């Protein structure tokens, strides 16, 4: 996991180096700059694979190509074996350089199994690509007429024009333009047998967890005591001993005893941190700076997530998370009133929007502390299979229980009260709940909210709490051009 930045304008190192410093939090283990007559790339490194030999930007053995890469390629060993020849490092980055010699980018990027955003200099050409769901971030803009790219908005804000988010599941080459290589599957529902769906789900999730335990550094698991994180922890514990698990909570938070219960049940080495409202208010500006959003639901969940990542980074360099399960298996409460057709459409919508909502929080809060987070539920094979499962298996029974098939897949791995626990958002379960809304309500009057809630033509803030976050966001990121890049959560 790393930070990347670059510009397509000759020898522009003097412009890239100060931008690279803005991303130092993403890569505390190293920093490098590469340039030729066409491009300048910068890279900050968080060392996960091949700690000694994986420095970037990385050139191929012929010196024809160079890459600045952020992410992890889980099948890099298989790719190298299929490519043959000698590789100078054990890193996953070099596998991408090897693929780049084989075909047009749209063809070989399909072979990458992982999370990634990268820039590849292929002679005078700049190739950009991002993973299917946008787990890793990438933004592009114009600086002095040249194309610039970076991992985070804060690098380009105030320096570049026409800033856009590079779309997930796309690759760009100057000869072919922007091409989409991955589409979320239509919700076909051809897997309708409960036993078959349960078995297929478990098989793919176990494989996804197994891949994400591969690292040359310590790996742990975020554990809230909810179904999603507990299931990931249970599968990881089968393959890792000891396993470190991490949770944060207020003293009266509902998650605290349940996370402890799961950790004891699994026999993990559990780490817990308590926080209070005073601490949350103190870190709020820092959280919004790193998060690059004012969306109410996102900020509210980012606050404990920031503290969780800080805790985990004291012990491990990689953590697994349960992100994505609610979107794939209908976990949110607001989904329960929808009919099947509307639910199918909504699940596709919110899964496709993860790149600038929950995945943005996941990336920014972890990377603020130099921690890599991996998300097994969003393995592409897992995602594709989830959309094949009939809607009636995701939301089932007289109470229309959300994530029903996922719960069935967890029944032999976890205590029943964890398997069938009602959905609780992370902020609520950790004890924060509506405390930030109450805090904002005491500081913002009704007249102030009425006056300030329209932030663009037809775009409105949804609460005083969101106005509080928006004020801080605008102080740090004053350009109105960034507003279209801020994702808005549908589950509020």
Indicate whether 41 belongs to any domain.
yes
Structural tokens at position 168: 């997930």
50 pLDDT tier (thresholds 50, 70, 90): low
pLDDT at 430 (0 to 100): 84
Looking at the structure, tell me whether residues 285 and 346 fall in a common domain. Answer: yes
How many domains does the chain divide into? 2
Indicate whether 477 belongs to any domain.
no
Indicate whether 467 belongs to any domain.
no
Output the pTM of the full model. Answer: 0.96
Q: State yes or no: pLDDT of 365 exceeds 90.
A: yes
Q: State yes or no: pLDDT of 283 exceeds 90.
A: yes
28 pLDDT tier (thresholds 50, 70, 90): confident
Distance, C-alpha 388 to centroid of its chain: 23
Q: Are 238 and 205 in contact (CB under 8 A)?
A: no
Measured between alpha carbons, how far is 15 from 156 in angstroms, rounded to an integer?
12
DSSP-derived secondary structure for 419-459: HTPPP--HHHHTT-TTHHHHHHHHHS-HHHHHHHSEEETTE
- At 388-407, the pLDDT tens digits run 999 999 998 777 899 999 99
Measured between alpha carbons, how far is 160 from 59 in angstroms, rounded to an integer?
27
Percentage of the chain beyond pLDDT 70 is: 99
Indicate whether 81 belongs to any domain.
yes
97: domain range?
2-180
| Residue that is last in its domain, among 180, 202, 234 | 180
Q: State yes or no: pLDDT of 330 exceeds 80.
A: yes
Residue owning tokens 């909570």: 249
Looking at the structure, tell me whether residues 198 and 176 fall in a common domain. Answer: no
Mean pLDDT of 259-280: 97
Q: State yes or no: pLDDT of 331 exceeds 80.
A: yes
CATH code: domain of residue 124: 3.60.20.10
Residues annotated as part of the active site: 2
Mean pLDDT of 225-240: 97
Least confident of 62-71, 106-115, 130-139, 261-270: 62-71
């Amino acid at each position: 996991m790393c930070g990347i930045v670059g510009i397509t304008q000759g020898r522009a190192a003097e412009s890239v180096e100060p931008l690279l410093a803005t991303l130092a939090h993403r890569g505390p283990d190293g920093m490098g700059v590469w340039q030729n007559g066409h491009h300048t790339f910068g890279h900050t490194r968080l060392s996960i694979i091949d700690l000694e030999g994986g420095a970037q930007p990385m050139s191929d053995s012929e010196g024809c190509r160079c890459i600045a890469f952020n992410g992890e390629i889980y099948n890099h060993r298989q790719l190298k074996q299929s490519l043959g020849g000698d590789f100078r490092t054990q890193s996953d980055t070099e596998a991408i350089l090897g693929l780049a010699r084989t075909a047009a980018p749209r063809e070989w990027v399909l072979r990458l199994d992982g999370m990634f955003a990268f820039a590849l200099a292929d002679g005078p050409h700049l190739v950009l690509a991002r993973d299917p769901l946008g787990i890793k971030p990438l933004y592009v803009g114009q600086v002095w007429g040249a194309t610039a790219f970076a991992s985070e908005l804060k690098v380009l804000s105030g320096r570049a024009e026409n800033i856009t988010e590079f779309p997930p599941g796309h690759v760009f080459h100057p000869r072919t333009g922007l091409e989409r290589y991955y589409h979320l599957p239509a919700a076909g529902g051809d897997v309708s047998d409960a036993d078959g769906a349960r078995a297929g789900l478990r098989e793919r999730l176990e494989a996804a967890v197994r891949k994400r335990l591969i690292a040359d550094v310590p790996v742990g698991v975020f554990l809230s005591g909810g179904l999603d994180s507990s299931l990931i922890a249970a599968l990881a514990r089968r393959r890792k001993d000891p396993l470190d698990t991490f949770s944060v909570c207020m003293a009266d938070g509902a998650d605290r005893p349940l996370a402890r219960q799961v950790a004891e049940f699994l026999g993990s080495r559990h780490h817990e941190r308590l926080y209070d409202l005073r601490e949350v208010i103190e870190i709020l500006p820092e959280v919004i700076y790193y998060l690059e959003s004012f969306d109410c639901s996102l900020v509210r969940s980012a606050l404990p997530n920031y503290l969780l990542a800080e805790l985990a980074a004291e012990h491990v360099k990689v953590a697994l998370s349960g992100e994505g399960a609610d979107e794939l298996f209908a976990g949110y409460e607001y989904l329960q009133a929808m009919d099947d057709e509307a639910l199918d459409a909504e699940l596709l919508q919110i899964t496709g929007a993860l790149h600038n909502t929950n995945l943005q929080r996941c990336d920014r809060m972890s990377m603020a502390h130099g921690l890599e987070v991996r998300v097994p539920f969003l393995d592409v094979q897992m995602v594709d299979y989830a959309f094949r499962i009939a809607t009636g298996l995701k939301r089932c029974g007289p109470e229309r229980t959300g994530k029903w098939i996922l719960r069935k897949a967890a029944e032999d791995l976890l205590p029943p009260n964890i398997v069938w626990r009602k959905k609780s958002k992370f902020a609520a379960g950790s004890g924060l709940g509506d405390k930030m809304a109450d805090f904002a309500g005491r500081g913002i009057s009704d007249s102030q909210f009425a006056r300030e809630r329209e932030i663009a033509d037809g775009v409105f803030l949804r609460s005083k709490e969101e106005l509080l976050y928006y004020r801080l966001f605008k102080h740090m990121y004053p350009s109105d051009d960034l507003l279209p890049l801020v994702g808005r959560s549908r589950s509020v």
